[in-house]
């Protein structure tokens, strides 16, 4: 297998492009939080090996990942954030989030690992591209995770794979969480938060939106919407327009979701890190850069196409770097 590129997490200490590196870090986090002997390392290792095979196209019946934004790197990053949230909430020791069992903690990590496998195409779906499953990928991922969990030591937790739906931006979390007990709700809030935080705190979030997310949205048909009267409304004219609207999206949609539906469990990251919060710092830095772009022009502050763990990308994902005056 080719050596993965080094893509540092927000702390600069873990390569989120390397499954083995993230696995070691997550095992250490959970071991420190619950005691190494209480963490089912076997099922954790099986989960990391599974997701590695899936995204590489080496799992029976599945094709290689063909997407650069929703790639292996994003799944590993979300998994790392989930583990840190679990540890921070446990250290805080308040509420259901602070009282999760080691089994629930391992489950949360596994659901984070598998939350985007619904984008991966089966061999029978070779005529499609991954983004075409964007509207249904959470349901596909939850079904896959439930089926896999039933064959593991966590078989009794398989019904909780539905918590993957918490990562759906349009999901009604009140309705979703009403089906679960307080521990599962706490886990769902951490999973949903981790999915968002891993994206918007990323050092190259703006570049990932421009070069990688916009083409995914176009291929999914989600750069536009159909109005009740049948007319079509264009949501994003181009990648520049997506970037220009990203700050408002982060401030009014994502921030509201983190504080509301997810109960602001993100604050546990500052507890985990002992006061500092590199994720909050990363988000603030990205929002500041987006603000400066609105004044100075997007092109003047936009870097080059960022690295991805997905190889052999279609040409649509390789847009030229824009002129500085855009």
**Number of domains the chain is built from:** 1
Cα distances (angstroms) measured from residue 317 to each of 86, 217, 220, 266, 313: 34, 11, 14, 31, 7
Residue 9 located in a structural domain: no
Which is higher by pLDDT, 297 or 157? 157
Q: How far apart are CA 292 and CA 247, in angstroms?
A: 11
Q: What is the pLDDT of residues 29-50, one digit of tens each?
A: 999 999 989 999 999 999 999 9
Q: What is the pLDDT of residues 217-261, one digit of tens each?
A: 999 999 999 888 888 899 999 999 999 999 999 999 999 999 999
Strand boundaries in 202-319, DSSP class E: 224-226, 232-234
Residue 234 located in a structural domain: yes
Residue 184 located in a structural domain: yes
Mean pLDDT of the chain: 94
Residue 14 located in a structural domain: no
Q: What is the pLDDT of residues 107-118, one digit of tens each?
A: 999 999 999 999
Q: What is the mean pLDDT of residues 66-73?
A: 98
> Domain of 183: which CATH number?
1.10.1300.10
The pLDDT, as a whole number, for residue 62 is 98
Rg, C-alpha atoms of the chain: 19
Residue 4 located in a structural domain: no
Residue 2 located in a structural domain: no
Q: What is the mean pLDDT of residues 127-135?
A: 98
Q: What is the pLDDT of residues 285-323, one digit of tens each?
A: 999 999 999 888 888 889 999 999 999 999 999 988 877
Q: Where does residue 231 rank: exposed (0-12), middle (13-18), buried (19+ CB within 10 A)?
A: exposed
Q: How far apart are CA 187 and CA 159, in angstroms?
A: 13
Q: What is the pLDDT of residues 71-105, one digit of tens each?
A: 999 999 999 999 999 999 999 987 777 789 999 99
Q: How far apart are CA 239 and CA 241, in angstroms?
A: 5
pLDDT(1) > 90: no
| Residue numbers of the domain that contains 135 | 19-317
pLDDT category of residue 2 using cuts at 50, 70 and 90? low
Residue 8, strand partner residues = 15
Is the CA virtual torsion 8, 200, 146, 188 positive or negative? positive
Residue 6 located in a structural domain: no
Q: What is the pLDDT of residues 271-287, one digit of tens each?
A: 999 999 999 999 999 99
pLDDT category of residue 324 using cuts at 50, 70 and 90? low
Q: How far apart are CA 14 and CA 9, in angstroms?
A: 6
Q: How far apart are CA 82 and CA 122, in angstroms?
A: 27
Residue 200 · residue 283 · CB < 8 Å: yes
The secondary structure of 214-241 as a DSSP string is HHHHHHHTTTEEE-TTS-EEES-SSHHH
Residue 324 located in a structural domain: no
């Amino acid at each position: 297998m080719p050596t993965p590129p080094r893509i540092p997490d927000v702390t600069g200490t873990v390569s989120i492009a390397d499954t083995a590196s993230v696995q070691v870090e997550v095992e250490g986090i959970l071991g420190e939080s619950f005691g190494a002997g209480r963490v089912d390392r076997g099922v954790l290792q099986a989960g990391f090996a599974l997701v590695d095979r899936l995204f590489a196209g080496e799992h029976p019946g599945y094709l290689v990942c063909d997407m650069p934004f929703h790639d292996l790197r994003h799944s590993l990053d979300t998994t790392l954030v989930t583990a840190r949230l679990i540890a921070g909430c446990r250290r805080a020791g308040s509420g259901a989030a602070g009282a999760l069992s080691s089994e629930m903690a391992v489950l949360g990590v596994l659901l984070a690992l598998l939350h985007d496998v619904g984008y991966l195409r089966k061999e029978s779906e070779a005529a499609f591209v991954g983004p075409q499953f964007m509207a249904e990928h959470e349901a596909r991922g939850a079904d896959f995770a439930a089926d896999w969990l039933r064959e593991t030591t966590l078989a009794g937790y398989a019904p909780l794979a539905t918590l993957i739906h918490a990562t759906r931006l349009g999901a009604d979390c009140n309705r979703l969480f009403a089906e679960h007990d307080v521990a599962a709700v706490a886990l769902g809030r951490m999973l949903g938060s981790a999915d968002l935080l891993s994206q918007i705190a990323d050092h190259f979030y703006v570049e990932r939106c421009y070069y990688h997310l916009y083409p995914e949205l176009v291929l999914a048909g989600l750069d536009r919407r159909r109005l009740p009267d049948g007319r079509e409304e264009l949501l994003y004219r181009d990648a520049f327009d997506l970037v220009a609207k990203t700050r408002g999206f982060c401030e009014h949609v994502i921030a509201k979701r983190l504080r509301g539906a997810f109960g602001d469990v993100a604050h546990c990251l500052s507890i985990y890190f002992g006061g500092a919060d590199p994720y909050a710092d990363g988000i603030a830095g990205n929002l500041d850069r987006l603000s400066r772009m609105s004044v100075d022009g997007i092109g003047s502050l936009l870097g080059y196409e960022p690295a991805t763990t997905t190889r052999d990308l279609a040409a649509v994902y390789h847009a030229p770097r824009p002129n500085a005056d855009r």
